[in-house]
Amino acid sequence: MQLPVYLDNHATTPVDPRVLEAMMPYLTFRFGNAASTTHSFGQEALEGVEKARRQVSDAIGAEPREIVFTSGATESNNLALIGAAQANLPRGNHIITVATEHRAVLDPCAALTRAGFDVTILPVRPDGLLDVDRLRDNFTGRTTLVSVMMANNEIGTLQPIAKIGAMAAERGALLHVDAAQALAYLDINVMRDNVHLMSLSAHKAYGPKGVGALYVRRRNPMVRVTEQMHGGGHETGRRSGTLNTPGIAGLGEAARLARESFASEAPRLAALRDRLLASLQRDIDGLVVNGTMEHRLPNNLNISIPGVEGETLLMSLRDVALSSGSACSTASAEPSHVLAALGVTPALAHASLRLGLGRWTTEEEIDYAAQRLTETVKRLRSMGFS
């Protein structure tokens, strides 16, 4: 076992060696520009891009032509939300989203509000799940877009995307899904679940940073988005800019591996996560689990430990890499907006930790992390830190 133990896989994942292997040719001898196809260098680069497009589409049940490559899920979210809102403005200007969404969804929605759109932000139940009946009641004749993340990046909550997709389709609205945290661990099928737009990230699924994709449906119905990046008409006019061929090749391989392994990897991670939780609950008095355990990512655990401030605990624990759930970004000292939406008190929110297991997490590491967390909590409590 190597130290420190890494349990922050919701922040980012290590690049799988097989992903790096797929990227290397496009970082070295296949260095061409995929838009410059009058010679073999550009043709080889384009072949790599189109192979990755097929791999990503296969992983989510889409068609290759429905995949738009971007710089990551944040850009994909912005393109989906602002692009679809603008393209559908003649039909209406009402958008529905959820209080526990990532800032990459909430901030574009705030920008749309400033631009004159009507945005409804729905609350969640104490377990983190959206009340589908409440969603139904908030549709209007002007609703064009609903945005609900598949798996929450802090508490791991899995929203009922198929039900939401069916509801949106019945009312003629589009459904956008932020699936950045879901690709490596869940069975994704955009057609089955009535998803019209889906954001993906490579570095949350054992791929490289700085690359992602947006699924844009082209059939039943054909979805239109207004481009947000101008300057060359790349990606069939939906996202201009020279393609990051090595990154795209990495995303494609990461998506292929995710599709190949999630059925066996998800139960393995869930068993390790449950082992970790059982140990912590046994040895740490008053521990609170944030969010539902029934509808949750298999690799996620979000807990609050009363009497110990999360940041203090992290600074005292150098050999286990975790993150505190007490801030929605590293630049903010405010309690997590996700935990606040669950009704978690500020004190418990500041005492929260997010643990994210990953592809290489072992039972030995889980036992070590549980032991070190328990020891550190008891020591801090005895010293009166809070």
Condensed to tens digits (0 to 9), the pLDDT of residues 223-237 reads: 999 999 898 888 887
Of residues 349, 331, 5, 334, the one with CA closest to residue 155: 349
Task: Cis check for the bond before 14: say yes or no (omega within 30 of 0).
Answer: no
pLDDT per position as a tens digit, 32-79: 999 999 999 999 999 999 999 999 999 999 999 999 999 999 999 999
How large is the average pLDDT for residues 159-166?
Answer: 98
Same CATH fold assignment for domains 5-12+262-383 and 17-257: no
Hey, what amino acid is at 247?
A: G
**Percent of the chain clearing pLDDT 70 (strictly above):** 97
Q: Is residue 333 helix, strand or coil?
A: coil
pLDDT at 328: 44
- Catalytic machinery residues: 328
First-to-last C-alpha distance (Å) of the chain: 31
Q: Is residue 95 helix, strand or coil?
A: strand
Q: Which residue(s) pair with 96 in the sheet?
A: 120, 146
Place of tokens 């979000």: 302
pLDDT at 333: 66
pLDDT at 347: 93
DSSP 8-state code for residue 328? S
pLDDT per position as a tens digit, 264-296: 999 999 999 999 999 999 999 999 999 999 999
| C-alpha span between 299 and 78 (Å, rounded) | 27
CATH architecture designation of domain 5-12+262-383: Alpha-Beta Complex (3.90)
Q: Is residue 73 helix, strand or coil?
A: helix
User: Judging by beta carbons within 10 Å of its beta carbon (0-12, 13-18, 19+), is residue 310 exposed, middle or buried?
Assistant: buried
pLDDT at 386: 54
pLDDT at 327: 46
pLDDT at 331: 54
User: Judging by beta carbons within 10 Å of its beta carbon (0-12, 13-18, 19+), is residue 189 exposed, middle or buried?
Assistant: middle
Q: Select from 3.55.40.20, 3.40.50.11810, 2.60.40.10, 3.40.640.10 the CATH code of 17-257.
A: 3.40.640.10
- The ranges assigned to domains in the chain are 5-12+262-383, 17-257
pLDDT exceeds cutoff 60 at 217: yes
pLDDT at 332: 59
How large is the average pLDDT for residues 323-345?
Answer: 78
| C-alpha span between 223 and 132 (Å, rounded) | 24
For residue 148, count other CB atoms closer than 10 A to its CB: 24
| C-alpha span between 126 and 340 (Å, rounded) | 10
pLDDT at 200: 98
Query: What is the β-pairing status of strands 174-178 and 143-147?
Result: parallel
User: Judging by beta carbons within 10 Å of its beta carbon (0-12, 13-18, 19+), is residue 273 exposed, middle or buried?
Assistant: buried
